[in-house]
Amino acid sequence: MAWWFGTKLWKRVFLGLVLGVAFGLVVTQSMGPEAGEALLVKVKVIGDIFIRLIRMIVVPLVFFTLVSGIYAMGEPKKLGTIGIKAFALYLLTTFFANLIGLAMGTIFQPGKGVDLGGAVPKQMGEAQPIGERLMGIIPENPFQALVEGDILAVIFFALLLGVGILMAGETGKAAGKFFEAVAEGVLKMTHIIMELAPFGVFALIAYVAGTQGVATFTAILSLTLAVYLGAALHMLIVYGGLIRIVLNLPFVDFFRGILDPMMVAYSTSSSSATLPVTIRAAEENLGISKSVAGSVLPLGATINMDGTSLYLGIVALFTAQVFGYTLEPQHYVLIALTCALVSIGTAGVPSASLFLLAIVLEVFDVTPEHTALVVGFIFPFDRLLDMMRTVTNVTGDVTVATAVAKWEGELDEEVFRARPLS
Ligand code: ASP
């Protein structure tokens, strides 16, 4: 017990990750796929409990942290500069993700020689028109948005409420303090929940490793390689370069500080479920101020998805290669633009983007039958790809938050350079 609690959390989570993979593989090998899956489904319950616990605090955390974050800024004007910088960087990093994705798809040619004959077509639902989505950001009833967990609408309302409280001056002080206090309390809840993380991660990964195993990895080897390598390059070169060269901050301290959210993102495949862990790591390990972490990260978890954009680009090229669609130079530009737009509209939940693939494929007139076949082909093992793109999405959010914090003088570099406490 003393050893367990004396060991840093990220090490325990990492142990859970490694043991989970081993356990999943051994169970399936020794008991056979069916009996193995039956056991792993039972084990997965611990993982589901973990996910539910962190999801439970996402809405209150976003709401209270955001309002208190705006309040902590002290003046509404600062919100504008933070917002513009964050948004510009979100777009810039997504642009690089697109470039890397398209390069990977061209170099690896993952669709070459792939036969989709055995794939079961998957029908896709209608995507919500973009105009409607944009309008939906303004909640008609903010309480309904909170209840339904409509994060963009919650963000919109919380931003305005924070500004309102600031404008109320002396009278608003008590409300500002109240939001600050609750935000602190909710953040502390993540400490409690994260004690379950090693077990949750173990259970989730064991299930994925046991049911998807090495066989699926190899069946779509080049697609998996293209996605994993592309995401790794993007994180190391674009995020690492931004941290090291542009911000002049130590690279190792950055990645060490965010190991927890990276591992939780990998095992849950959901950037929005990971959000509480991301906010905690940003504030406590990287020294990002409450006002920047509380505003930039929730927004990032909802609209900034570099891993998703990179992945969609690769899958678009994969589709063209499988069915022999010819792509002209302008198609590449359009694919990149559409991937970026779709990634903004993707929800931070497992496999969200795969079902929006049709929008990207429309760029080069892929038939609905072909789209359904590609989605049907990828869906069974999408989890493995999803885990990696979610890690990229979350890492991208923290990178942008770090940059904005540094430029706004809201980064405590001593905390950033220190080893994480827990
Ligand atoms: N699962 C991803 C995320 O939560 C979204 C996606 O499907 O690409 O970030």
Closest CA to 399 of 110, 97, 38: 97
| 386 pocket-lining for ligand 1 (C-beta < 6 Å) | yes
Q: Which domains does the chain have, with CATH numbers?
A: 8-417 (1.10.3860.10)
Measured CA distances, 89 to 270, 271, 339, 400 (Å): 22, 18, 17, 6
Closest CA to 65 of 188, 174, 173: 188
Distant-in-sequence, close-in-space partners of 187: CB < 8 Å, separation ≥ 6: 61, 65, 276, 279, 280, 283
Closest atom of ligand 1 to CA, residue 349:
4
pLDDT of residue 11: 85
Q: Whose CA is nearest to atom 3 of ligand 1?
A: 348
| 119 pocket-lining for ligand 1 (C-beta < 6 Å) | no
pLDDT of residue 313: 96
Closest atom of ligand 1 to CA, residue 274:
4
pLDDT of residue 139: 93
From 355, 386, 391, 394, mutation site for ligand 1 pocket: most ligand atoms within 8 A of C-beta: 386
From 54, 275, 308, 360, mutation site for ligand 1 pocket: most ligand atoms within 8 A of C-beta: 308
From 341, 353, 357, mutation site for ligand 1 pocket: most ligand atoms within 8 A of C-beta: 353
CA of 177 from ligand 1 middle (Å) equals 34
CA of 268 from ligand 1 middle (Å) equals 10
CA of 292 from ligand 1 middle (Å) equals 23
Q: Split the chain (422 residues) into runs of 10 and give each run's mean pLDDT.
A: 81 90 91 89 93 87 87 82 92 95 93 73 63 82 91 87 92 94 88 89 89 68 92 97 96 94 93 93 94 90 92 95 89 91 82 84 88 84 90 98 96 89 65
| 395 pocket-lining for ligand 1 (C-beta < 6 Å) | no
pLDDT of residue 117: 66
Closest atom of ligand 1 to CA, residue 311:
8
| 389 pocket-lining for ligand 1 (C-beta < 6 Å) | yes
For residue 418, the 8-state DSSP code is S
Closest CA to 158 of 65, 84, 78: 65
From 312, 393, 395, 398, mutation site for ligand 1 pocket: most ligand atoms within 8 A of C-beta: 393
pTM score, whole prediction: 0.86
CA of 164 from ligand 1 middle (Å) equals 33
**DSSP one-letter string for 118-150:** TPPP---PPPPPHHHHHHTTS-SSHHHHHHHT-
CA of 185 from ligand 1 middle (Å) equals 28
Closest CA to 308 of 276, 270, 334: 270
| 309 pocket-lining for ligand 1 (C-beta < 6 Å) | no
pLDDT of residue 217: 61
pLDDT of residue 229: 97
